[in-house]
Structure 1
Amino acid sequence: MSIPALGLGTFRLKDQVVIDSVRNGLEVGYRAIDTAQIYGNEAEVGQAIADSGVPRDELFITTKIWTDNLSRSKLIPSLQDSLKKLRTDHADLVLIHWPSPGDAVSVAEFMGALAEAKAQGLTKLIGVSNFNINLMQQAIAAVGAHEIATNQIELSPWLQNHKVVQFAQDQGIHITSYMTLAYGAVLKDPVIAEIAASHNATPAQVALAWAIRQGYAVIPSSTKRENLAGNLKAATLKLSLDDMARIAELDRNERLVSPDGLAPAWD
């Protein structure tokens, strides 16, 4: 089972806004939806999916376990609660959202619990998010690299995260890029804009296509139907080697998501 190259993110979307975004996304052709316990929108995502009429076996649903629920006693019950909200008996991918603050719960404990959730049929795939190399090494030691479907990390033309990407890929761990558009900031980058104009594409399509071409999955969000539809076209945008080389030069290690108390020591 592979992770779709292009999914619909729901970070920061709540209530009717997220219902509308997911509804519109499904209508224009998305089949992968990414949410998380801490987003506070799993029930609304589940409602939008149920109302859409799209068969469950056509969908790829991802959610993430929050740090409060990482202990062996809490992880599976919290996931079962998430599944009820999402109106499904299983997820397609469940991630550890952030490592346990202060290592209060060991990587071995929460990865073991996550692997048990998979064994119970609560999810088809498991993985991690916001893990540096050291944390990935610990996760591999706990369950094996073959069990870790992806590491979902902040990654954009301005933050290309080469060390983490290289380690993950060497281990056969897929990369999912979040914040690929850097809250929209990279859309104003003159190089991205120039490449977009040369392809009669949008800057968003170029940034997403750059990530997809490297084998990453992307999960952009939008509240606008036209942007949702436009972002989907990134999957078929063919960037040249010169385009890719020019974007590679934009890396400036500009990280936007590094919450105090949660973020590990980044590589």
Structure 2
Amino acid sequence: MMNAAVSPEMLSAEEKGQAVAAAKETLNLACSLLRRDGRPWLYAVESSPFESPDVIFLELHASAMLCLPSGECMLPDATSCTALTSALYSTVSEDDVLHRLLKVDVQVSSRDPCCIEVALRCLAAEGDGYGLHEANDGGLLAAVMAAGFKGELSRFQPGVSMAISRLDAWYSDRSGSVESTAAYIIRGLCRRCCLPETILRSMQACIALSAAGDDLDYSLDKCDELVELVGSAESGMMHLFSQQQLQEFLIFEREYLICTMEFEEDRLPCDG
């Protein structure tokens, strides 16, 4: 028997109270995770084991399934792999492709015909392979992979995303021999993919609570907290968002502002 959505009108007062309490607890945990007091997500500066005179490449390899917006698996073939390769190239500028010697290769997996193998390679650069990785966003390769993971490839089938099952990153020399692991790329990719999505879903939950009329002060305070977090130059969260995610965030922010104005109007004393 499949689970079905239950209309709020069908819930008892006790069940509604439990749902609101669960939503608040989840929001509190999410906001605490995002703030990460004492250890901000984007402050963990990592240093490269290599110096800039060295000719070093970065590689990021992943096994993934292509997922349709419906959640169904899209079986890959040579045509879709070629299209995906082109789409991944298009996620960065032509200058980056040329100057960083970016290479993208997508093939149907030899181990599982339902999966693809994605291999990315580029030349290391200052701040992305050399020196301090101050951005903490995984650099160029993480940016390319994140676009595929989020399903935001403008030159591929709309809404198709990559469900990644295996991920590895490393430094290599000219011949492709592994020199060292590049864990900062994996960590940066996780930040790009997880933090914006957590913020968006938290905003959505806050607005849903506000619209339902449940503890407006609490909901709006949490929205305030999330808006400040994204807008803060100190947190650095905004640059993790894709254009599509920023648009979604702005829509939620507008709804939040409307809720705030309605809330303030309700607090005004009535005439007469």
Asked if these proteins are the same fold (TM beyond 0.5), I'd say no
Query: What TM-score comes out, normalization by structure 2 length?
Result: 0.28
Larger Cα Rg: Structure 1 or Structure 2? 2
